[in-house]
Structure 1
Amino acid sequence: MFQYEVPSSPNQVPPHTASPSSHNATMNAAPTVNLNATSPLLKLPRELRDEIYNHLLLPLHTYTSTPPRSRFAIHKFSTPQPTYIDTRILLPVRPPMNILGTCRMLREECVEVVASLLNSSKTISKPRNQEGIRSNAGAGKGDEADWEENNNDGCVQITMEICRPIRSNLGSIIPIRDTLSPCFLTLAPIILSKVKRVRFVVWAGWMWWSGPQRRPAELQLARRIRSTHCLTPDQMDETAYASSMAKFVEPNEPDPLTDTLDAVLEHLPLVDTVEVVAPLHVSDYWNWDLPQKKWKGVEGWLESPICESGKRRWKSVQRSLVVCQPPTESLQLVFYRKTEVWERDSTDPDNAMGREVRITEKTAEIPDEWPNQTEIEYETREYSRIE
C-alpha cells in the first residue's frame, strides 16, 4: 500500500510533488561563477606557458590607417578620406585577442612574449595564408605594401608618406598629415610601447627629395632699387650681376620628416634602434628633376639628428635611400646608406667626454644599364664624433 510521507515543515515540498514552474526556473537559472577559481593555464610553469603563447601567436599582419571604401556606395567616392602620419603598420607576429581579453596576468605574459620576439635580432615571422588577411587591402597601395612585406626583417615596420600628392580626376593635392591614426593610438599602449627597434618606410614626393626651396638673400633689395631709381645701363648691368651672384639661403624650417619621426617616437619610449628607409621608384629616379647625386637635396636631413628630442639614448640609427620597382623584391638597389652606432658608456665616472658615435657612409650612383647591371662600386667613408 502506498504511504505518503508528511513534510516536516509546511514550506517543504516533496521532490516528487515539485511544481513544473519551479523545475523550469531551476533549469533556466544562470550558472554560478566561482570568482576565487584560477585558470588551469596559470597552474603550469611559466616556461611551458611561454611555449603555449608562441604556438598561439598569429602570423604577419598589416594594419592600415584609413577605412575601406564601399564599392556599393557610389556617392562616398567623392568624400575625401582622412589622412594620417602613419599609412600602414606591419607586425611580424601579433597576440590573439581571446588571450588578451582573458585576464590581466595572461595579457601581460602574452605581450611580454610578443615584445621579446619583436625586439630580438633574429625574429622568425609565421607565414601568412595565401589568400591574405590584410585588414584593408583597398586603403593601401598594393604593390608598395607587398614590397614592404617582402623586405621586412622581422621588426615592427611603420609606413609614412611625406610631401606626397594624392591624385584624383580633378588634379592632385598634398594633404596635411599631422595626426596619428586611431589604429596606431590603439596599438601603442598594447604592443608598440614595448618595442625597442623599429623600421620606418618613407614614401616621399618630389618636394622632399628636391630639398628646401632656396631663395637669394639680396634679390628683393635689388628689385627695390631698380623699381625706385632710374638707373643707367651700366648700373643696371651691375645690379643684374649682383642679383645673379647673390648668396642663396635656405629657410630655417625643420625637415618635415624630422617632425613626423618626432610625433611617432613620442609614443615609442623604449626605442633605441631605428632604421629609416626612403624608397624611390625607378621611374621617378630617372624622370624627376633632381641633382646628379640624388641625395644632395636631403643632405640637411641626413646630417641632422634623427629627431629633435635629445634625451633618448640611441644604440644604432641607419638611413637608407633605395631605388626600387615594387612589388619585385629583387629589383632594388641602395645608393646611399648612413649607419651611426653609439658606443657603450665608459665605466669611468670622471669621463665627461660623452659617447663616441662611429659613422659609416656608403654612396653610389645607379648605372644607366640597371637593372641589367647590378654590380656597382660604393664609396665608403668612416669617421666618428663625440656626443
Structure 2
Amino acid sequence: MSTLLAIPRELREEILHYLTLPSTVYTSSAKADTHSLHQIGSRKTEETYVDTRIYLPSRPPANVLSTCRQLRQEGLEHHTHLLNSSSVVEIEDSKAEVANSTKVAERSGTEFDEAAERAGDDGVTLRLTLEVQRAQRGPFGFSVPIREELSPRFLALLPLMKTARKLKLVVWPAFDWWNGPPQVSPLEQWRQRKALLKRINAYQVGHTEQPSEAESAKTSDTAQPRLDAVSVAVGKILAQLPAVEELDLGVFIATGDLFRWDLPDVKWEKIQPWLDGPITRTGGVQLRRVSRTLTSVWQMPEVEIASQQPFYVQKETRSDTLSNKWRVERQGGLRAPMFEHLAHLAALELPETSVNETFERVDS
C-alpha cells in the first residue's frame, strides 16, 4: 500500500484540495488558436458542435486520476463536492495556470463573447456555451453550420461534469431564432390541402394508397408547434448531465443587434412560444428550478470587461413532480436606464409593454 493511501481519508482530502487546479475554459476546437480558419483565402472549415465553450470552476489533476482506482474515485468525489458547493472555494492559482487557462480559451473573433460570458460567472457553477443558428465564415463565404453532435472535448470532460446539480447555459442565437420559427404561408397551406385532397380522391378510386396520419396532420394542422432550436440543443446537453436540478439559461444578444435587427418593438414577441413551453422535451428529468434570462450585452472600446442588462427574466419552479406542474414567474420590459439612454441617443421609441405575471404550467 502506498504512503498516500495509508494516511487517513481526511488528510487525503486536504491533499486533494491542495492539488486541485483552478478554473479553466475549454473550447470545442481541437486547437486553441483558430486564427487561420478566419483568414481570407483559407480553405479550412472548422468543425462545429452543439457546445462551443466549457467553463470548469475547478478540476482535479490528471496524474491523480490516473494513479489508481481508489484515488480516481476519491478525486472525482472531491471534485463533485466543489462543483456542487454553494459558495466559492478558494483555490491557489499559479501564474503558469493562468497562462494555460487563457490560452485554452483563445478563439479568433470571439473575445467579446468570452468577456460577456465571464462577466456572469460566479466561480462555482459549471457553464456551457451554445451557439444556435449563427453563421460562420468558411472558404466560400458565410453559412449556418449544422450543430447536432456534442464535441469530443465535451465527451472527454463528461466524467468531471455528469455529477453537477447546477448548470449554467449561455446561448448565442442569431436573428433567425429571435425572429421565431418559420411559418407556412397561406399559399403553401392551400397547396398542401390540394395535394391531400388529390391523394384522397385517387385512393377512393383505387389508384394509390391511403394517405398516412402524418400527412393528414401536417396539412390539417399547420399551426402545430415545431421544435425550437434552443430546446433541441438544451435537450442534448441535459441528456448527458442527468443530475442537473437547477438550470440557469441565459440568452445573450449584443446591444447593437437588439436595436439594429428588424425585430418587433417587444423583442420577445416572436419567441413567446418558446417562453411559454418547457425548456426541453428531452432530458432534464431531475430539473427542479429553471431560470431563463434574455440579456443584452455590450463592451466599451479598449475595455476587456463586458456589461450586461437583462430585459426579460422568467423563473420556473416545479411544484408537483407527478403531474409535472411548474410555477412560472416572469418579468420583462425595456425601461431600464441603459436602454433609456440608448434610445435617447439614437432617437428611438421604447415600447411601453411590460410583463409581470405568475401562472402555472403543466408539461406533458
Q: Same fold (TM over 0.5)?
A: yes
Q: Which runs of 5+ in 2 are unaligned?
A: 195-220, 346-351
2:350 is equivalent to residue 381 of structure 1: no
1:149-194 CA deviation, whole Å, 9 max, x = no partner? 2311221101010000013574310000011110111111x21111
Q: Which runs of 5+ in 1 are unaligned?
A: 1-37, 226-247, 346-352
2:341 is equivalent to residue 369 of structure 1: yes
| TM superposition score normalised by structure 1 | 0.73
2:310 is equivalent to residue 334 of structure 1: yes
Tell me the SS of whatever aligns to 2:101. Answer: coil
Residue of structure 1 in register with 2:199 after alignment? none
Larger RCO, structure (CA 8 Å, separation 6 or more): 2
Tell me the SS of whatever aligns to 1:48. Answer: helix
- For 1:89, which of 46, 54, 57 is the aligned residue? 54
Contact kept, 8 Å, 2:331 with 2:356, in 1: the verdict is yes
1:121-147 CA deviation, whole Å, 9 max, x = no partner? 223464574545232413671221122
Residue of structure 2 in register with 1:305 after alignment? 278
Note the C-alpha offset of 1:321. 0.4
Note the C-alpha offset of 1:272. 1.5
Tell me how far apart the structure 2 counterparts of residues 300 and 128 of structure 1 sit (CA, whole Å).
Answer: 47
Residue of structure 1 in register with 2:214 after alignment? none
In our comparison, the structure showing a higher alpha carbon Rg is 1
Residue of structure 2 in register with 1:156 after alignment? 126
2:161 is equivalent to residue 185 of structure 1: no
Residue of structure 2 in register with 1:13 after alignment? none
Residue of structure 1 in register with 2:232 after alignment? 259
Tell me the SS of whatever aligns to 1:95. Answer: coil
The one-letter code matched in structure 2 to 1:88 is R
The one-letter code matched in structure 1 to 2:19 is L
Note the C-alpha offset of 1:210. 0.5
Note the C-alpha offset of 1:383. 2.5
- For 2:175, which of 206, 227, 231 is the aligned residue? 206
Residue pairs, 1:338-353, within 5 angstroms: 338-343=314-319
1:253-308 CA deviation, whole Å, 9 max, x = no partner? 20111111111111111111111101100110010011111111111211111121
2:289 is equivalent to residue 289 of structure 1: no
Residue pairs, 1:9-88, within 5 angstroms: 38-68=1-31, 77-88=42-53
Tell me how far apart the structure 1 counterparts of residues 344 and 13 of structure 2 sit (CA, whole Å).
Answer: 48
1:326-369 CA deviation, whole Å, 9 max, x = no partner? 47656311111111112476xxxxxxx74653221010115341
Contact kept, 8 Å, 2:238 with 2:283, in 1: the verdict is no
Tell me the SS of whatever aligns to 1:296. Answer: coil
Contact kept, 8 Å, 2:45 with 2:138, in 1: the verdict is no
Structure with higher helix content: 2
1:29-85 CA deviation, whole Å, 9 max, x = no partner? xxxxxxxxx121222222222122112111110111113357789999311111111
Q: Which stretch shows the higher mean deviation, 194-203 or 320-329?
A: 320-329
Q: Which stretch shows the higher mean deviation, 151-160 or 353-362?
A: 353-362
From the superposition, tell whether residues 169 and 286 of structure 1 become closer, same or farther in structure 2 (CA, over 3 Å): farther
The one-letter code matched in structure 2 to 1:53 is L
RMSD between superposed Cα atoms in Å = 3.4
Contact kept, 8 Å, 1:212 with 1:250, in 2: the verdict is no
Tell me how far apart the structure 1 counterparts of residues 53 and 7 of structure 2 sit (CA, whole Å).
Answer: 37
Note the C-alpha offset of 1:86. 0.5
Residue of structure 2 in register with 1:175 after alignment? 145
Tell me how far apart the structure 2 counterparts of residues 254 and 95 of structure 1 sit (CA, whole Å).
Answer: 38
Tell me how far apart the structure 2 counterparts of residues 85 and 112 of structure 1 sit (CA, whole Å).
Answer: 28
Contact kept, 8 Å, 2:115 with 2:306, in 1: the verdict is no
- For 2:101, which of 133, 158, 162 is the aligned residue? 133
The one-letter code matched in structure 1 to 2:17 is N
Contact kept, 8 Å, 1:67 with 1:139, in 2: the verdict is no
Tell me how far apart the structure 2 counterparts of residues 364 and 280 of structure 1 sit (CA, whole Å).
Answer: 15
From the superposition, tell whether residues 75 and 369 of structure 1 become closer, same or farther in structure 2 (CA, over 3 Å): closer
Tell me how far apart the structure 2 counterparts of residues 322 and 265 of structure 1 sit (CA, whole Å).
Answer: 22
Q: How many residues align?
A: 319
The one-letter code matched in structure 2 to 1:85 is V
| TM superposition score normalised by structure 2 | 0.77
Tell me the SS of whatever aligns to 2:15. Answer: helix
Contact kept, 8 Å, 1:193 with 1:270, in 2: the verdict is yes
Tell me how far apart the structure 2 counterparts of residues 251 and 139 of structure 1 sit (CA, whole Å).
Answer: 40
Tell me how far apart the structure 2 counterparts of residues 119 and 76 of structure 1 sit (CA, whole Å).
Answer: 46
1:79-113 CA deviation, whole Å, 9 max, x = no partner? 11111111000001011111111111111111111
The percent identity for this pair of structures is: 29
Tell me how far apart the structure 2 counterparts of residues 251 and 175 of structure 1 sit (CA, whole Å).
Answer: 26
Tell me the SS of whatever aligns to 1:360. Answer: strand
